[in-house]
Amino acid sequence: MRAAVLGTGAWGTTFAAVMADAGCSVRLWGRSPEVVAEISSGGRNSRNLPGVELPAAVTASTDLHATASDVDVLVVALPSQSVREVLAPLAGTLPDRTVVVSLMKGVELGTHQRMSEVLAQVLRIGSDRVAVVSGPNLAKEIAAHQPAGAVVAAERHEVAELVARSCAAPYFRPYTHTDVVGVELGGALKNVIALVVGMAQGRGYGDNTKALIITRGLAETARLGAALGAQPETFAGLAGMGDLVATCASPLSRNHTLGAHVGAGMSLEDALTATGGTAEGVKSCRSVLELARAHGVDMPMTQAVVAVLHEGWPVAEMTAMLLARPLKHERG
């Protein structure tokens, strides 16, 4: 299969290697001539994936149109808030056979759209040609060929199957699904919950608190999912609980680490600089909260993250914000 991956960040580069190890020929597109030159000439991306040697089947270019033309699978791995702008030049240009895949875990500010919705709209293709891949997939571990799994969701099962075949490598096992909404929400929401776990850790709280946040975080994710038409079981799977656990446990997660910095008293600006890369939850928490309010869904943790990161509330207030709410039934 011929594949293209847009975005030479940690996950885009790693996923290109996974697809090459699954037997695809893969073109990577990036905006940085230096990164692209290093991938093309030396098979390395030392800025975003240091120490990793890429398979020979991965090539790179700064030419967006040439990279995206004539491929079976077009994968997008950019920061969520930049997708619409970056892909605008490709609107209406993709051949009918090209399936588009989102690797992104965010919700667009302003429109509240999930990334598959943004892709279908900006590329002017049917939503049945868009798939999403999500799960516990910390890029550095997968780049080191540590065993991992993910969910490939698409409206049509045959599309999910095609994408699963394109990325099934000896160390990477994709499962197919048709709940695009649930799989995407699981990915976007776990970033917000990981921020809360990080903040709690930064304040010195231990594993009881972490388990409370993970469990109740999943409950609020599932509430939003139910309102948006997701299947409840999806949140018990790899793209729900699986990704939430990995992200909330791992120091490799940028959302988790950023939360820990803020919990320890660092400003958001300094924490963003310290973590580098893309901590999607920082922006997506606002669109998620707006989406929840529009559907009458109570999301106290998301609300607390927005209050601390964007409304000037001291992180020390977070415990009271969450624990002083009226008592309720666990299933409520």
Ligand X SMILES: O=C(CO)COP(=O)(O)O
Binding stretches for ligand NAI (CB under 6 A):
7-12, 30-32, 48, 77-80, 82, 86, 103-106, 137-139, 277-278, 280
**What is the CA angle 213-217-223, rounded to 5?**
155
Within 10 A of 50 (CB to CB), how many other CB atoms are there?
A: 11
| Rounded Cα distance, 7 and 253, in Å | 19
| 164/162 Cα distance (integer angstroms) | 5
- Options 190, 210, 283, 328, the catalytic residue: 190
Name which of ligand NAI, ligand X, none residue 86 binds, using a CB cut-off of 5 to 8 Å depending on partner kind. Answer: ligand NAI
Binding of residue 138 to ligand X (CB under 6 A):
yes
Q: Of 9 and 240, which has the nearer Cβ to ligand NAI?
A: 9
Instruction: Provide CB contacts within 8 A for 316, sequence distance 6+.
Output: 203
283 is catalytic: no
Tokens of 209: 């608190």
Q: Which does 43 bind (CB under 5 to 8 A by kind): ligand X, ligand NAI, none?
A: none
Beta-carbon contacts of 307 under 8 Å, excluding residues fewer than 6 positions away, are 313, 317, 318, 321
**Chosen from ligand NAI, ligand X, none, partner binding at 180 (C-beta under 5 to 8 Å by type):** none
Backbone angles phi, psi at 327, to 5 degrees: -65, 150
Stretches 64-72, 165-173, 246-254, 309-317: which one binds ligand X (CB under 6 A)? Answer: 246-254
Question: Which listed option, ligand NAI, ligand X, none, makes contact with residue 303 (CB within 5 to 8 Å by class)?
Answer: none
Hey, CA dihedral for 13, 17, 20, 24, is it positive or negative?
Answer: negative
Comparison of 59 and 137: residue with beta carbon closer to ligand X: 137
DSSP H/E element including 86: helix 83-87
Q: Does 14 bind ligand X (CB under 6 A)?
A: no
- Catalytic residue numbers, as ranges: 190
Interface residues toward ligand X, by CB under 6 A: 105, 136-138, 191, 194, 243, 246-247, 253-256, 280
Q: Residues within the annotated binding site for NADPH?
A: 11, 31, 105, 139, 254, 280
